[in-house]
Amino acid sequence: MPRTATLDDADVATAARLLWDFNEEYGDPAPPLETLTARLGELMASGETAVALADDDLGVAVLRLRPNLWSDALEAYLAELYIVPPRRGQGLGRALLAHTLELARSLGADRIELGTSEDDVAARKLYTKMGFTRHEGTLPEDPLMFVYEQDL
């Protein structure tokens, strides 16, 4: 069963290692593991970031929280969701995402958003099954939403 990570050094180190492995798998840049571990611990301690770990520490989800402009609640951003490759397709991602959604609610969020790539079909399928939409409204014919980003 997924669990919410604590500020315990072992939880922070496990989450950071999984995030580092995620970036390595996809060839994305990442700071040294020690730096990432320290940064993740700082963000978790600030209360602006929450982390969930999958069963047996086989995956990680990172949730970023910020004040919501349109309500008194928070809004959440699912920054990362990762399951180790040999365990994908076995329901761990779905369970971890369900736990993360409940975690966001328990921390006061009333909405969550995320971004994923077009070619990550498995993730897109999971997000759709879990109630996420990529349309501005609730109908399939409503305009598609896009996520844009830029390094500053």
**Distance between CA atoms of 68 and 52, rounded to whole angstroms?**
22
pTM of the model: 0.94
**Distance between CA atoms of 35 and 50, rounded to whole angstroms?**
18
pLDDT in tens, 28-40: 999 999 999 999 9
Do residues 63 and 76 lie in contact, with contact meaning Cβ atoms separated by under 8 Å? yes
Do residues 131 and 78 lie in contact, with contact meaning Cβ atoms separated by under 8 Å? no
pLDDT in tens, 93-126: 999 999 999 999 999 999 999 999 999 999 999 9
Determine the pLDDT at residue 147: 87
